[in-house]
Amino acid sequence: MKDKERKPSFKTSSNIEQKRVYSEADWSSDRRPTDLGEAGVYPFTRGVQDTMYRGRLWTMRQYAGFGSAKESNERYKMLLQKGTTGLSVAFDLPTQMGYDSDHVMATGEVGKVGVAISSLEDMEVLLADLPLKDISTSMTINSTAGILLALYIAVAKKRGVSLKDLKGTVQNDLLKEYIARGTYIYPPKPSLRIITDIFKFCTEEVPGWNTISISGYHIREAGSTAVQEVAFTLANGLTYVQAAVERGLNVDEFAKRLSFFFNVHNNFFEEIAKFRAARRMWARFMKERFHAKDPGAMKLRFHSQVAGSTLTAQQPENNIVRVALQALASVLGGTQSLHTNSMDEALGLPTEKAATIALRTQQVIAYETGVADVVDPMGGSFYVESLTNEIEKRALEYIERIEGLGGVIPCVESGWIQNEIQNASYQFQKDLEAKREIVVGMNEFVQTEAPPTDVLKISEQVSKEQIARLQAFKAKRDSAKVEAQLRKIREAASGTQNLMPVFIEAVENGVTLGEISEELRKVFGLFKESITL
């Protein structure tokens, strides 16, 4: 007689029904001979390097940036001293939206959700005393990615650091901004033009730089399922590759510097399988659709970040456990770089203590658990392999639907993709309210607790000081030089010239981020989102 089971059905976040027990038959029947294979070999199901973490651990990043450039610089130095191996820069909302700190649209937002960067002087302070030749710097920036990269390059040039020695990433993923996050400025076509300009420039001048981080993270934060995260992220990636190929770029050259950025949620095995499926799918797309010959151009290399949307303000210490499990899933899934959230991020910016605990979580996984000693330890698990196949199958079906509707850009402009995510998010909320989904401390195992007192808050004085510094910077510039540079930007944007060299020359001559963005607005216009009901 079969024992009574705890729930009427067992499903993953993507509504994949889970069997009671798995056997070889569950994953071998529809398997290609190359599905599993070896790590470091096409289609890279088991990892993009043959030795994986036996050769080199993943890059341990902590997402940081708040208030002034000076405060953020001090946090970076603290993190490096405690063992962080890569920096990850968060920018405030005005910087993301192309406004200087002294613009009326920046009022009340300067330094609040990241660091305020308007000028070359700001970037110099942010990077003061940091070893640019030796560290990898990831910048989470999209609409103004080219300008921030230009500022970073300008600082490196002033210090005499060769551009060929620079290592890092700009997120530079505008399609997911239209889909899920909202910090877009220009319409899709000029945005794609800027993105491919960055591809071409970095391929030739900054070969160690990842020119895009094609992001599923924000798609998942907006409420998508794991399957939708894979499908929409890879569909966006295919759109970028197609645009670059149409510009005449060589896929075997530029595609080696593409990177991805995924979320890590709480359904442990689904997340591991998600990464394995995405890696295999991308390799096949690059080889079979775009005829890449260099294995490096077929590899899906990714940064991962644990899920901010799963953190709770209630019982925030529980978030330490969530972060540890999500980080472990990411490592077992083969990440190249990992950011662990701090336990207090549902309340505010991370305190130094919480950021240290988050970093130590990665270090415990790396040095104490043994999971980094074996390549793809989950490979061959009947359950994980079956789940990998099912996620791949469902994600491919989504991509085929998108292409049948004309591609990502028409689906964004019509709101179709956004609507799919909204429906998934709504369903999850209903499941929470009905307790079909349990979040410990929020809708079950609730307890009364005093509000925390050690939440990091940004003083309004930061905004006043930043604006004063920026206005002093603008006042000492050569106005004729600035105007000449703005004219060059307008002319380049109106033509077909690569914009990156123009941006670099402009910031070196004192032009600010907001001034460059304003000239581009004049030429490209603004994107207006389609509202779907």
pLDDT tens, 80-133?
Answer: 998 888 888 989 999 999 999 999 999 999 998 899 999 999 999 999 999 999
* Residue 9 region by backbone torsions, left for phi larger than 0, else alpha for psi between -120 and 50, else beta: beta
Predicted TM-score of the model (pTM):
0.93
The whole-number average pLDDT for the span 333-355 is: 91
pLDDT tens readout for residues 198-213: 999 999 999 999 999 9
pLDDT attached to residue 456: 66
Q: 377: Cβ–Cβ under 8 A, 6 or more apart, which residues?
A: 332, 371
What is the spatial distance between Cα 155 and Cα 157, in angstroms, rounded to a whole number? 5
For the chain, the average pLDDT equals 93
Q: What digits encode the pLDDT tens for the residues 282-336?
A: 999 999 999 999 999 999 999 999 999 999 999 999 999 999 999 999 999 999 9
Partners of residue 59 on adjacent β-strands: 337
Mean pLDDT within 126-141: 93
Q: What are phi and psi of 170, to 5 degrees?
A: -110, 135
Single out the residue of 215, 243, 79, 67 nearest to residue 145, CA to CA. 215
pLDDT band at residue 528 under the 50/70/90 scheme: confident
Do residues 235 and 402 lie in contact, with contact meaning Cβ atoms separated by under 8 Å? Answer: yes
pLDDT tens digits, residue range 372-385? 999 999 999 999 99
Is 412's pLDDT higher than 70?
yes
Using CA atoms, how far residue 29 sits from 221, 269, 280, 385, 413, in Å, is 34, 21, 18, 11, 39
